[in-house]
Amino acid sequence: MINPNAGFGPADVSGDLFALARTNPDHLGAPGDPPVADAPRTDFGSMLIDGLNEVSSLERTHENLTVQAIVDPASVNPHDVTIAASQASLALNLTRNVVDRVVQAYQEITNLR
């Protein structure tokens, strides 16, 4: 067996053939290798809803920090409010871009003749 941390030695190579060490379960194995258990997969709809919930959560966090900064300015660091605003803005922009691309793809599919 090859030690993945030691590299290859002369005994590990025979002609133009050598044994590959599979050090990461995400790497593809050789034919005949036992399959690696895949992580549970979720469908597109649940991933979409989870993403939208995350965007909504970031927006609520920004809103709560902004209100807290107005009501009790000493309890909130201004940098935290700015960071929350940037995170919410970025998430919303990414969501808007994804929605625009999905709508554009749907329109292109419906216009195929």
- Is the pTM higher than 0.85? no
- Given a cut of 80, whether residue 19 has pLDDT beyond it is no
Q: What is the pLDDT of residues 48-71, one digit of tens each?
A: 899 999 999 999 999 999 999 999
The dihedrals phi and psi of 83, each to the nearest 5 degrees, come to -65, -45
Residue 65: exposure state from Cβ atoms within 10 A (0-12, 13-18, ≥19)? buried
Q: What is the pLDDT of residues 71-88, one digit of tens each?
A: 999 999 999 999 999 999
